[in-house]
Structure 1
């Protein structure tokens, strides 16, 4: 596990090319500036932005086969992880869903700044987004697992990967799910926080 910003940046450098790293530097500057206008992330997290946000997002790439796309990011908010992944990986497709107007404006601003034609942004509730088959579904602080799965199952197939950062509650949250969901998912330790977990699963949730 990484312990500082230097290690976090090196971690990201292994998962993004030189031009992507420059874009991520620009994104961090934009994020800090926008954070003065709206509370996208905690101010304290900006002191550890590579570890808390950039590496925390890019580590999700390690849990699916290389190049797998499109990704669906639920409740994108500040763009973590979906927008960061899109900035780093222009060879892949990303779909971001966010219902809050100011957050949507921010996401659109960054998309325009970096010319992210491979990234689409839906400024609405997930329930209003047309169903499309997604190769990967991710979400960070979107909703408790039952609601998350119920709302997004229609975007999944038998081969869809679920990569769900759940912080320090991940293992406990999985234990509270029905047996079929417990069998579908397992917990991987986060590379950025020794006490945090990522729920990894494959397939279509067996919803009742």
Structure 2
């Protein structure tokens, strides 16, 4: 997917206004990436395909309307992107202080503060119940589920991009036993997988 194709995908699925809002976020993200390691510098020329659409595609897999928890939000991927594309309430969980500070700034600048909060803590410390949980490039599948299952119940949607190691992680998982799940291909990387599951906890 080229950068032009990525922006066209956003317009087709979410409209021109969404593209404009995401453009504001991209400007903030690239500027901050010059000060801290939010995204790899080598991915900036392909930021719309590599990061924005890669995050945005997750919106279509959530079936709920309640609180959305994004774990290890880092530079706002996918949490800020998804908050800009939906009207859901979000908790962005980011234990690293500098990254959390950037997220707080982005939330304020983008006008999301009424429904998006930043938790500067590990996910194990949260006392919330999430309707949807996402995490992008955080840790291994089973370790992530063990850390976050206190925020989930039997109806929680887990939408987890697993990258190129997805098939191996799913096969090795003990946390997916007796769980309804399916695997979706990534729009931005044909070798990557997205786990969509319910009731892992």
Question: Is TM-score (shorter-chain normalized) higher than 0.5?
Answer: yes
Q: Alpha-carbon deviation of 1:148?
A: 0.7
Match of 1:78 among 62, 75, 79: 75
Relative to 1, partners in 2 of residues 1:180 and 1:107: Cα closer, same or farther, differing over 3 Å? closer
Q: Alpha-carbon deviation of 1:61?
A: 1.2
Q: What's the secondary structure of 1:13's corresponding residue? A: helix
CA distance in 1, matches of 2:106, 2:145: 28
Relative to 1, partners in 2 of residues 1:165 and 1:182: Cα closer, same or farther, differing over 3 Å? farther
Q: TM-score, normalised by structure 1?
A: 0.90
| Deviating 4+ runs (over 2 angstroms) | 14-20, 178-186
CA distance in 2, matches of 1:86, 1:142: 19
Q: Kindly tell me the number of residue pairs found equivalent between the two proteins.
A: 200
CA contact (8 A) 2:155 2:199 kept: yes
CA distance in 1, matches of 2:139, 2:172: 15
The CA RMSD measured in Å over matched residues stands at 1.6
Point out where structure 2 has 5 or more consecutive residues left out of the alignment: none
Q: Alpha-carbon deviation of 1:153?
A: 1.1
Partner deviation per Cα, 1:107-159 (whole Å, 9 max, x = no partner): 001011012121111011112222x2211111011111111111111211222
Point out where structure 1 has 5 or more consecutive residues left out of the alignment: none
CA distance in 1, matches of 2:32, 2:133: 27
Q: Alpha-carbon deviation of 1:88?
A: 2.3
Q: Indicate the residue corresponding to 2:154 in structure 1.
A: 158
Q: Alpha-carbon deviation of 1:44?
A: 1.5
Q: TM-score, normalised by structure 2?
A: 0.93
Relative to 1, partners in 2 of residues 1:128 and 1:37: Cα closer, same or farther, differing over 3 Å? same
